[in-house]
Amino acid sequence: MSDIHPTSHSTPRIAIIGGGFSGLAAAHHLAELAQKTGRPVELHLFDTTHRLGGLVQTEQLGPYTIERGADSFITNKPGAINLCRRLGLESELVPTDPTYRGSHILSHGRPVPTPAGFNLLVPGNLWAVLSTPLLSAAGKLRCLEEWFIPPRTSHGDESLASFTRRRLGPEVLDHIVQPLVGGIYTSDPEHLSLAATLPRFLDMEHRYGGLLKSVWKTRRTRDNADREAAGARYGLFVSLKGGISQFVQTLANRVQTTAQVHLGRRVHALHKPDPAASTVELILEDEKQTFDHVILAQSAYTMADLTRRWSSELATRLDEIPYASSSIVVSGHNLSDIRNPLDSFGLVIPYVERRKILAVSYLSRKFPMRAPDGKVILRTFIGGAMQPELFNLSDDDIRKTVRDELRDLLGVAGTPDFEVLTRYPRAMPQYHVGHLDRVREIRKIAEGLGSISLAGNAFDGVGIPDTIQSGEGAAERAFADVFRPGRAPCVAV
């Protein structure tokens, strides 16, 4: 017996496949558009799991509040912060604790502070660069030579590694940039597209002639916090009092009042029996359902599987977006059991150090209310594009690897209060060189098919604000499509 009940044959029907942030944002925004314009739509959201929220999962373990997925989001991208305001969550937002803002980078087996003012690729504080033990004298001199290097004249895509090596030298790449950016994208910088991930640094080169020249010419407009930022711009990140799940659950609750939500329902394929028709069939386990428009809000390879029968060309291009797998071990400890003072938000590990973890985030240093007094939460990352073999270790071996690495690098002793392992197979899309062209071609093909929109972190950004904006953009395209002049809504079957 179907649980999908059409409300009216005169009401356009839109399906959203995927119940993570992008799918929920799409469903929520469609309801907003319907209310704003007075044009009702019939919404159905499908997810194969039995919970909404995708990879986001805040969990209470006794007195600890842990995050299995994302622990915060940035506010200088409008998608997430604007949605929080519309959901009435603005008073629930909490900033990172300024006490420990900053990061450390492993160097010769010991944590070293990230140079003040070093904003991912930009050495904003020259004295900090000159005094850091992360670079040799030759590496520091090569970094300063960036001032005299002319901008690249060609306009083709370039990898992060190529750009950094060309402008700042190989030491800055290997010992600073790779671990900082790798902690965000779990990617190999030799393949990572700079235009698709960090385009502002390309803009600095083209607009000002270089990174150091950009720092000099914009010094009057940069605030003190930006000049002293070490690594990511931590002052721009926020969470919620109840963790990131408070955000996604509030959004899910709102969606469930305006859409029919079908959990544990797998869509096997999309089909368009009549190429001239404007409707699409969803093929489920036990039935077919017809919709005026479908929003796919999943991984690119899942979208490829769903659309292969409809358009092999679209499926082929979606399959070209590679993914990396990683695991996170979240653990709770007595501060007295840790030799390192943990006087930052975390430690990132350069690949050249040949360790078996990517990074360690000190969650309760970012947000103190997550752990009791005298306790600390560590989130240790393992695997990624540069160490894929470590993801394939057994659960016991991953836990042992993390314990060994934490002992060696941070002096973590004793028995943790808890130790939670979460695996994320093929969860992080890799924005390889040529990604922007690939995405443009995917969207061109999808637009030509009609009645379909794509959303998610495979296209325009991997953070929570990016996925929300992607979902809302797909909602606007779907809404415009179903109400375009001359189009009649489908008849549900």
Say if residues 472 and 26 touch (Cβ distance below 8 Å): yes
pLDDT above 90 for 4: no
Q: List, for residues 117-151, the tens digit of each pLDDT value.
A: 888 888 888 888 899 999 999 999 999 999 999 99
455/402 same-domain check: no
123/193 same-domain check: yes
272/215 same-domain check: no
In a domain, 128, yes or no: yes
Q: List, for residues 162-209, the tens digit of each pLDDT value.
A: 999 999 999 999 999 999 998 788 999 999 999 999 999 999 999 999
pLDDT above 80 for 99: yes
296/223 same-domain check: no
Domain enclosing residue 415, as ranges = 72-78+94-100+323-429
395/290 same-domain check: no
pLDDT above 70 for 6: no
Domain boundary among 386, 409, 429: 429
281/137 same-domain check: no
pLDDT above 90 for 96: yes
Q: Give the number of domains in the chain.
A: 3
Q: How confident is the model at residue 231 (pLDDT cuts 50, 70, 90)?
A: very low
Report the pLDDT value the prediction gives residue 276, as an integer from 0 to 100. Answer: 78
Instruction: Write down the mean pLDDT value for the chain.
Output: 92
pLDDT above 50 for 225: no
Domain boundary among 182, 203, 230: 230
424/363 same-domain check: yes
Report the pLDDT value the prediction gives residue 204, as an integer from 0 to 100. Answer: 93
Report the pLDDT value the prediction gives residue 491, as an integer from 0 to 100. Answer: 55
Report the pLDDT value the prediction gives residue 183, as an integer from 0 to 100. Answer: 78
132/198 same-domain check: yes
Nearest to 239 by CA among 95, 110, 55, 346: 95
In a domain, 88, yes or no: no
Q: Which of 26-30, 287-291, 396-400 has the lowest mean pLDDT?
A: 287-291
327/423 same-domain check: yes
209/259 same-domain check: no
261/402 same-domain check: no
d(CA 297, CA 463) in angstroms, rounded, equals: 14
In a domain, 180, yes or no: yes
pLDDT above 50 for 1: no
Q: How confident is the model at residue 227 (pLDDT cuts 50, 70, 90)?
A: very low
Q: List, for residues 45-61, the tens digit of each pLDDT value.
A: 999 999 999 889 999 99
CATH code where residue 471 lies:
3.50.50.60
Which of the pair, 4 or 423, is modelled with greater confidence? 423
In a domain, 17, yes or no: yes
Mean pLDDT of 329-338: 98
For 134, the token pair is 């992360």
In a domain, 235, yes or no: no
Q: List, for residues 347-402, the tens digit of each pLDDT value.
A: 999 999 999 999 999 999 999 999 999 999 999 999 999 999 999 999 999 999 99
CATH code where residue 133 lies:
1.10.3110.10
For 148, the token pair is 């005299």
Q: How confident is the model at residue 490 (pLDDT cuts 50, 70, 90)?
A: low
Which residues have a Cβ under 8 Å from the Cβ of 15 and sit 6 or more positions away? 44, 45, 46, 280, 282, 289, 291, 293, 294, 295
d(CA 302, CA 284) in angstroms, rounded, equals: 15
pLDDT above 60 for 228: no
Q: List, for residues 60-79, the tens digit of each pLDDT value.
A: 999 999 999 999 999 999 99
Report the pLDDT value the prediction gives residue 372, as an integer from 0 to 100. Answer: 96
This prediction's pTM = 0.92
CA atoms within 13 A on the CB side of 460: 21
Burial letters for 310-349: b for 16+ Cβ neighbours within 10 Å, e otherwise? bbeebbebbeebbbbbbbbbbbbbeeeebebebebbbbbb
CATH code where residue 360 lies:
3.90.660.20
In a domain, 278, yes or no: yes
306/450 same-domain check: yes
Domain boundary among 230, 255, 274: 230
Which of the pair, 327 or 215, is modelled with greater confidence? 327
Q: How confident is the model at residue 278 (pLDDT cuts 50, 70, 90)?
A: confident
Nearest to 118 by CA among 155, 165, 168: 168
In a domain, 147, yes or no: yes
Which of the pair, 10 or 11, is modelled with greater confidence? 11
In a domain, 61, yes or no: no
Which of the pair, 183 or 464, is modelled with greater confidence? 464
